[in-house]
Amino acid sequence: MNIGDIRQEYTQAGLSRSDLQADPLQQFELWFEQARAAELPEVNAMSIATVTPDGMPQVRTVLLKLFDARGFVFFTNYNSAKAREINANPQASILFPWLALERQVRISGTVEKISQMESFKYFTSRPRGSQLGAWISEQSQVISNRTVLKTLLQQIKEKFKDGEVPLPDAWGGYRIIPSSYEFWQGRANRLHDRFKYQKTQSGDWQIDRLAP
């Protein structure tokens, strides 16, 4: 199989400077709603890249659960590999691959923990099964087999059978505070439209077209 022969021309749309909102968050919200309207699967799925203390990049997919003027929020175990990497180097990049629309959005910035109250508010909105799962998964740690998880799940179900499931100490949210955005629209002949928003020292957003 020669995967070099796999090709697709991107012809759905173009992107010009006049199309863009002055505020990149408004531009993101516009594209996000268009992706939702197109009924893309897992429209809030985003790849997040961090770096280990020895400089090795790491990337995985998580779910965006909140975005507003303060930034982009996802949730995880605070002892996970990604959390340890963020604690050592509080910077990250995220990517939304809306490929069915021939679009991508890249966002980079600093990362901070959200408040415990914010984490609690989201935690209580989760299905009970997901709440219980947050208690038993020592994320990124080696386990012998899946039976370990099933046993722990039964134990935690018994522990909290008579009441609400409390927020685990080692679980909560991180907020990515953007310093740059890139909006990518596929075009024919690989001459894609790319626009980068960069935060300036004055706090404004500078918009530049990038070569494809």
- Res 20: pLDDT: 98
The predicted-structure confidence for 75-84, as pLDDT tens digits, reads as follows: 999 999 999 9
The predicted-structure confidence for 80-109, as pLDDT tens digits, reads as follows: 999 999 999 999 999 999 999 999 999 999
3 state DSSP class of 106: strand
CA 50 – CA 140 distance, rounded (Å): 15
- Res 70: pLDDT: 97
The predicted-structure confidence for 109-133, as pLDDT tens digits, reads as follows: 999 999 999 999 999 999 999 999 9
* Active-site hit among 17, 36, 128, 190: 190
CA 165 – CA 156 distance, rounded (Å): 9
- Res 139: pLDDT: 77
Where are the strands (E) in 142-210, listed by range? Answer: 171-185, 193-199, 205-210
Task: Identify whether 190 is a catalytic site residue.
Answer: yes
The count of other CB atoms within 10 Å of the CB of residue 85 is: 22
3 state DSSP class of 10: coil
Its pTM stands at 0.93
The predicted-structure confidence for 36-71, as pLDDT tens digits, reads as follows: 999 999 999 999 999 999 999 999 999 999 999 999
